[in-house]
Amino acid sequence: MKKFPFWAWFWVVLGVLYLFLPLYGTLDFSLRMVRDQLSFAAYEVVLRDPKFAATFSYSFIMALWTILASTLLIVPTAYWVHLKLPQLRPLVELVTLLVFVVPAIVLVFGLLRIYSRPPLALTNSDLGADILLVAGYVCLSFPYMYRAVDTGLRAIDVRTLTEAAQSLGANWLTILLRVVLPNLRVAVLSGAFLTFAIVIGEYTLSVYLARPAFGPYMQLLGRTRAYEPAALAIMSLTLTWTCVGIIQLLGRGVPGQGQLAGTR
Amino acid sequence: MAFLELDNVSKSFGQVEAVQNFNLQAERGEFVSFLGPSGCGKTTTLRMIAGFELPTAGTILISGNDVTFKPPQKRNTGMVFQAYALFPNMTVADNIGFGLKVAKKPSAEIKKRVAEMLALIKMEKFGDRYPYQLSGGQQQRVALARAIAIQPQVLLLDEPLSALDAKIRVALRQEIRAIQRELGITTVYVTHDQEEALSLSDRVVVMNNGCIEQVGTPFEIYNFPQTEFTAQFVGTLNRIGATVRDVANGELLIDSQRIVTAQKLEGVSNGTAVTLSIRPERISFAADGRKPNGLNVRVENITFLGSIVRVQVRAGDNVFLMDTFNNPFLKLPDIGDVVEITFSKEAVLVLKHA
């Protein structure tokens, strides 16, 4: 008879407790706004606050622009590097990882220093500041989006597919739009959802660019209220996990792409 | 004038000369195979015809037009890849119709042409399937249909059967040849499989180290190899050390036993050591009496290969093979027996680079 793997289960249970006990604590706390009973009162207060809807929808729209911009920037770049400049791949990877080295605070002060004076005084208008914010978010999303797209490209033998399309008379734009991008759907979507999750909770860039985003709202709430920030943290976490769940589902549903791009 | 012409084409990758002074003239509708080991330059040459690589020197002409520096999408060549290269996001029908859509053909014409192609590859019921729902052989047939749907001037096939199992490979190569004959497309086929090259081609180009070793019909390549490389690479070949006994009469000695070659001995004198080549299937057991070329040999091994039996024999320091048809009523010698074998004087070739 096979011996029960006691130590394996011990470490698994310990890991789960380590991760989930704080979450459980937060969840429990968020439900105790009304004395001596469990309720969703804190959640109701948060959802009724007009600033919640305003800041969340603002961050949502910024996230969509970020995803669009990073897709347009990263997909052709990663494709070209794979196809024509494979020797540059380590360098491009290094560039995309720079955001882990350069803190967001340094990034935002750099942006403010350059774009708050002529000739490109973008911080003087809402539109300009939004553009700067999206640009900053694109930088923050680099490692996630690039890795997802890069893994997707490795999975589809992009060189041979490109050559096959070329021999059939297709130009570069046709190849990119009809052959490469559709086959990177899962990779781009997984990168997009990770970007979405990052942008929704981002604080530093939006606060220093004085934008009405969801991150600063959560921070403000945390300083002035007790139960509502806990409720907001649980909601934010649920949103992120939903995004990850959608990525997993998409990864399973695409023919020939059994694994989730970006997680191989 | 030839339909496809490669004139002194060379290609270097840094210091490596992948292809050197490649010359070929293929007629319209001809099936030409590039045969050689890995790294001999055959795929590079094919890719230069397709436009995926640019030659370092030389010119490539298709139907009299210089296409040397034209981009691949403007050459009107159809390409079939070893890895199928079907677009995973498209159905079989969409894959086949891709080139026609890109060329902005009317949708009715595309539909008609796709149906014709599906009928040609006998996959009429598979139009709505995705590549991942097909077997390797089916995928390659779709890739072939996709390549010929655009009615290319030249069809290029880069080891298209290498990823398939043996039985499907044989069936599909016959199909490829039948379709090529039916449509009369000038075809260049790259392979390292001699059986494929010999069975499919009108002409075979044997390549080694970026150079052409020999160009000829399969019959010429197999029976009259002009270089040692061709002789060794195509088919199984015995290389036997011998000494010239009499130049004038074509007499040679193998292990002190006299044999004769029909080949004129040039550039050698009596006593010169040479290397001979004899195909295993040209050697047989001597039935009765001495034949023009009879050799006493010792049987070292007998291998049963189904339709033939391969016998390994030794004469002095020379070990070589002979193939005999499997005859259940023929008594084979035992290992260790000394037997007499024979071969015609025409079967004995003195290799150029002996």
Neighbouring CB atoms inside 10 A of B183's CB total: 14
Q: What integer pLDDT is reported at residue A258 of this predicted model?
A: 40
Q: What integer pLDDT is reported at residue A263 of this predicted model?
A: 33
Chain B residue numbers touching A167 (CB-CB < 8 A): 50, 72-73, 75, 77-79, 147, 156
Residue B288 identity (one-letter amino acid): D
> What are the b/e assignments for B33-57, b being 16+ CB within 10 Å?
bbbbeeebbbbbbbbbbbbbbebee
Residue B8 has pLDDT above 90, yes or no: yes
Least confident of A244-253, B81-90, B168-177, B191-200: A244-253
- The alpha carbon of residue B248 is apart from the nearest alpha carbon of chain A, in Å, by 57
Query: Residue B225, preceding bond cis, omega within 30 degrees?
Result: no
Contacts with A, B 35-64, CB within 8 Å: 50-52
Chain B residue numbers touching A156 (CB-CB < 8 A): 88
ipTM: 0.82
Rounded to 10°, the helix A6-30/A227-253 angle is: 130
What is d(CA B132, CA B333) in angstroms, rounded to the nearest whole number? 53
Residue A257 has pLDDT above 60, yes or no: no
Q: Quick check: B132 and A255 CB within 8 A?
A: yes
**Was domain A63-236 assigned CATH 1.25.40.10?**
no
For B258-306, what is each residue's pLDDT tens digit?
Answer: 999 998 888 888 888 998 889 999 998 887 655 678 899 999 999 998 8
Q: What integer pLDDT is reported at residue B162 of this predicted model?
A: 86
State mean pLDDT over B159-169: 86
| Residue of B48, B53, B89, B140 to mutate, testing the A interface (most A Cβ within 10 Å of its Cβ) | B89
- The alpha carbon of residue B223 is apart from the nearest alpha carbon of chain A, in Å, by 37
Which of A168, A171, A185 minimises the CB distance to B98? A168
If pLDDT is split at 50, 70 and 90, which confidence band does B66 have? Answer: very high
Q: CB contact, 8 Å: B79 with chain A?
A: yes
Q: What integer pLDDT is reported at residue A117 of this predicted model?
A: 83
For A78-97, what is each residue's pLDDT tens digit?
Answer: 999 999 898 999 999 999 89
- The alpha carbon of residue B128 is apart from the nearest alpha carbon of chain A, in Å, by 14
Q: CB contact, 8 Å: A183 with chain B?
A: yes
- With 0-12 / 13-18 / 19 or more C-beta atoms within 10 angstroms meaning exposed / middle / buried, residue B75 is buried
Q: Quick check: B85 and A256 CB within 8 A?
A: no
- Cβ contact A29:A230 at 8 Å: yes
Residue B353 has pLDDT above 60, yes or no: no
Q: Quick check: A255 and B88 CB within 8 A?
A: yes
> Which residues does A116 contact at the CB level (< 8 Å), separation at least 6?
A122, A123, A124
Strand order across the B308-315 sheet: B284-285, B338-342, B294-304, B308-315, B318-325
Chain A residue numbers touching B105 (CB-CB < 8 A): none
Residue B26 has pLDDT above 60, yes or no: yes
- The alpha carbon of residue A157 is apart from the nearest alpha carbon of chain B, in Å, by 8
Q: What integer pLDDT is reported at residue B236 of this predicted model?
A: 86
Q: What integer pLDDT is reported at residue A33 of this predicted model?
A: 86
Residue B155 has pLDDT above 80, yes or no: yes
Q: What integer pLDDT is reported at residue A122 of this predicted model?
A: 81
Could you tell me which residue, B312 or A36, shows the higher pLDDT? Answer: B312
- Cβ contact B39:B193 at 8 Å: no
- The alpha carbon of residue B85 is apart from the nearest alpha carbon of chain A, in Å, by 5
pTM of the model: 0.79
Q: What integer pLDDT is reported at residue A1 of this predicted model?
A: 65
Which of B89, B131, B156 minimises the CB distance to A182? B89
- Cβ contact A262:A194 at 8 Å: yes
Q: Quick check: B102 and A170 CB within 8 A?
A: yes
Q: Quick check: B79 and A161 CB within 8 A?
A: no
> Which residues does A178 contact at the CB level (< 8 Å), separation at least 6?
A165, A170, B87, B98
Residue B352 has pLDDT above 60, yes or no: no
Average pLDDT, chain B: 91
Q: Quick check: A166 and B103 CB within 8 A?
A: no
Q: What integer pLDDT is reported at residue A262 of this predicted model?
A: 34
Q: What integer pLDDT is reported at residue A185 of this predicted model?
A: 86
Q: What integer pLDDT is reported at residue A36 of this predicted model?
A: 83
Residue A121 has pLDDT above 90, yes or no: no
Q: What integer pLDDT is reported at residue B164 of this predicted model?
A: 85
State mean pLDDT over B85-111: 94
Residue A116 has pLDDT above 90, yes or no: no
Which of A156, A163, A168 minimises the CB distance to B52? A163
Q: CB contact, 8 Å: B191 with chain A?
A: no
Going by the DSSP 8-state scheme, the letter that residue B298 receives in this structure is: E
If pLDDT is split at 50, 70 and 90, which confidence band does A61 have? Answer: very high
The percent of residues above 90 in pLDDT, for chain A, comes to 44
- Cβ contact B156:B49 at 8 Å: yes
For B38-64, what is each residue's pLDDT tens digit?
Answer: 999 999 999 999 999 999 999 999 999
* Residue in the block written with tokens 């795929």: B43
For B186-238, what is each residue's pLDDT tens digit?
Answer: 999 999 999 899 999 999 999 999 999 999 999 999 988 888 889 888 888 89
Pairing of strands B203-208, B31-35: parallel
Q: What integer pLDDT is reported at residue B354 of this predicted model?
A: 42
Q: What integer pLDDT is reported at residue B232 of this predicted model?
A: 84
Q: What integer pLDDT is reported at residue B290 of this predicted model?
A: 56
For A176-211, what is each residue's pLDDT tens digit?
Answer: 999 999 988 888 988 888 898 889 888 899 998 888
Q: Quick check: B73 and A170 CB within 8 A?
A: yes
Chain A residue numbers touching B132 (CB-CB < 8 A): 255-256
Average pLDDT, chain A: 87
Residue A252 has pLDDT above 70, yes or no: no
Sign for the pseudo-dihedral over CA of A70, A71, A75, A77: negative
Q: CB contact, 8 Å: A37 with chain B?
A: no
- The alpha carbon of residue B79 is apart from the nearest alpha carbon of chain A, in Å, by 6
Q: What integer pLDDT is reported at residue B301 of this predicted model?
A: 94
If pLDDT is split at 50, 70 and 90, which confidence band does B69 have? Answer: very high
